Structure 1
Amino acid sequence: MNAVARTTSHLIDRLPPVRGRLTAGAPLASVTWFRAGGPAEVLFRPADLDDLAGFLAAAPEDVPITVLGVASNLLVRDGGIPGVVIRLLRGFTDIAIEGDYVMAGAGALDLNVALTARDHGLAGLEFLSGVPGTIGGALRMNAGAYGGEVKNVIVHADAVDRRGQRLRLLPADLGFTYRHCAVPGSVIFTGATLRGQPGDQNAIAARISEIDRARGESQPRSRTGGSTFTNPPGDSAWRLIDAAGCRGLRMGGAQVSEKHCNFLINTGEATARDIEALGEEVRRRVYQTSGVALHWEIMRIGAPRAGDAPVVPGAPS
């Protein structure tokens, strides 16, 4: 039994009442794209923004808070996540259009935002159709693909802090850089307003179809966490990984994709440790052959399973 499971009953008794749902010891593997990892000590699915803000204002300050979307670019370690895991689902998925602006909840899928913009003849957001995940996650990592990124279309983001106070964050507050946002992790994004521009609906639809085809031709789509490592300046992670002889490399049930070697895949029975250890072995080989230290793009959170040997970093962080 891991530490998360042992302490679950005590934690849920300390939490304030909510209108949403609190679940002790909730499995998370089935909601992650990797289909691996341990449970949440307590999972909270708030009913709406008021429920979320009220919970944060009343929750004990010593309780760790972690936010999950659809966990498309995330690895949950096998020991699970201590504290409260918040998933923004129903109540945070609305998408609305006003003129050239798209207002989307943090739980809205990036693809759905792109498709809604298409349906209203708004261009400039097509790249979101190639970004797996939700708007909340896209804000947290300044997500981008196919020539676009969030920092180029953001008007403002809405959020709540650890005390339940509501915030409106302008682009300068977000501190976007390549695949990074400077907003503290204790701040929870709840939505965003994005700016599109009037365009031809058929051309927008064609671009989204083009992105979908490109993804299908170049990327694996099952049991993966998306791009594993950020591209180093002036180079690409996949090229360095391929040059280091890592294409198809396996460790336990995890494998470097043959199709795109900056993707790790769960071949069926991989543990989170298998996946993380494989990633570190890739980093080690790339550093050994090229002198470049790759940096994880996938977020790795939670605790290792009791008794597992720690994963040794393969290169400087």
Structure 2
Amino acid sequence: MEVRAPGPHALPALRGRAEAQAPLAPFTWFRVGGPAEWLVRPADDEDLVALLRALDPATPVAVIGAASNLIVRDGGVPGVVLRLPARPFGAIARDGEGFVAGAAALDATLAQHAAAAGLAGLEFLSGIPGTVGGAVAMNAGAYGREVKDCLDWAEVATRAGVRRLAAAELGFAYRHAALPEGGVVLRARFRATPGEPAAIAARMAEIRAAREATQPVRARTGGSTFRNPEGHKAWALVDAAGGRGLRRGGAQVSEQHANFLLNTGGATAAELEALGEELRARVRAQSGVELQWEIKRIGVPA
């Protein structure tokens, strides 16, 4: 049986939840954007695989987690937007000197589990405001480490079923993982090493303090806007091009950190994206460097 939203794409029957024309702005840190044609929360692995298998291959599928580095465009997102629910996709389980964490688990929560167990090497995750699934999909990193430095394997749902891929099969690069086409991260194993609890706690406190001192962590933002080009810092390039504090409507470049965009209140997705493109043009003209977006942008304009 298929059901159809007020849009072109039909949805097969599933055991999880499906909502037509679902608002997405409340899920995003920017608090902007239009609705999803379908917002789907699958019941479990099998439900997700069955959904992917039954969907028309022409139906667009997007995945959101904490939506901390996401702009949803004002016209909304056609097709299916997947949001894995905390049950069962947010579980974190000790596995020897490591952890198996579900894709919906928060990176910071995984870091806290490791610290409580006296295991070191995952402290950097406390400084990444996203989910495990997103961290794997983009090889998230901060404070000198990346996911590739501590990942053993990831399980990924595809139309053909669930695949377990070793870290070496994921083609990790800077802010990139080579997932199978249409693949959705389900869970991953992270390795750690025994450490001194006081030292682990101190490192996490240092990371929290550094974030609060240098980033607009309490604003409506989306994290780092641009990737750091080889040999450069994105914030420094934006700063040198006169971008710090620049405004467009309700969108503004942070005065505190020039690689962060802010919704100062009432901004649209179009204003945020246009401000980002203006920064790219200024940097290109000033330094010749082509900035690449790190924030993911999905959907269609209004």
271, 289, 294: which one aligns with 2:291: 294
| Superposed CA offset, 1:247-289 (max 9, x none) | 0000011000000000001001110000000000001111111
Q: Which residue of 2 aligns with 1:19?
A: 15
**CA shift at 1:115, angstroms?**
0.3
280, 283, 297: which one aligns with 2:280: 283
Percent identity between matched residues is 57
Structure 1 residue 247 and structure 2 residue 254: aligned?
no
SS for the counterpart of 2:199 is helix
Q: Which amino acid aligns with 2:248?
A: M
Q: Which residue of 1 aligns with 2:67?
A: 71
Superposition pairs of residues 82-231 of structure 1, within 5 angstroms: 82-90=78-86, 91-161=88-158, 163-221=159-217, 222-231=219-228
Partners of 1:300 and 1:278 in 2: how far apart?
A: 13
Partners of 2:256 and 2:91 in 1: how far apart?
A: 35
Partners of 1:113 and 1:11 in 2: how far apart?
A: 39
**CA shift at 1:187, angstroms?**
0.7
Q: Which amino acid aligns with 1:80?
A: G
SS for the counterpart of 1:238 is helix
**CA shift at 1:60, angstroms?**
2.5
| Superposed CA offset, 1:204-231 (max 9, x none) | 1111111001000000022111000011
**CA shift at 1:17, angstroms?**
1.7
SS for the counterpart of 1:26 is strand
Q: Which amino acid aligns with 2:253?
A: V
Partners of 1:75 and 1:21 in 2: how far apart?
A: 23
| Superposed CA offset, 1:165-191 (max 9, x none) | 110111121000111112245111111
Q: Is the 8 A contact 1:156 1:169 kept in 2?
A: yes
Partners of 1:164 and 1:137 in 2: how far apart?
A: 21
SS for the counterpart of 2:283 is helix
TM-score where L is the length of structure 2: 0.96
Q: Is the 8 A contact 1:122 1:198 kept in 2?
A: yes
Q: Which amino acid aligns with 1:169?
A: L
Q: Which amino acid aligns with 2:240?
A: A
Moved over 4 A (4+): none
CA-atom RMSD, angstroms?
1.2
Q: Compared with structure 1, are the counterparts of its residues 173 and 185 closer, same or farther at alpha carbon in structure 2 (3 Å cutoff)?
A: same
SS for the counterpart of 1:15 is strand
Q: Which residue of 2 aligns with 1:265?
A: 262
Q: Is the 8 A contact 2:7 2:37 kept in 1?
A: no
Number of matched pairs: 297
Q: Is the 8 A contact 1:52 1:164 kept in 2?
A: no
**CA shift at 1:164, angstroms?**
4.7
Q: Compared with structure 1, are the counterparts of its residues 243 and 10 closer, same or farther at alpha carbon in structure 2 (3 Å cutoff)?
A: closer
SS for the counterpart of 2:5 is helix
Partners of 1:296 and 1:271 in 2: how far apart?
A: 18
Is there any run of 5+ residues in structure 2 with no aligned partner, and where?
none
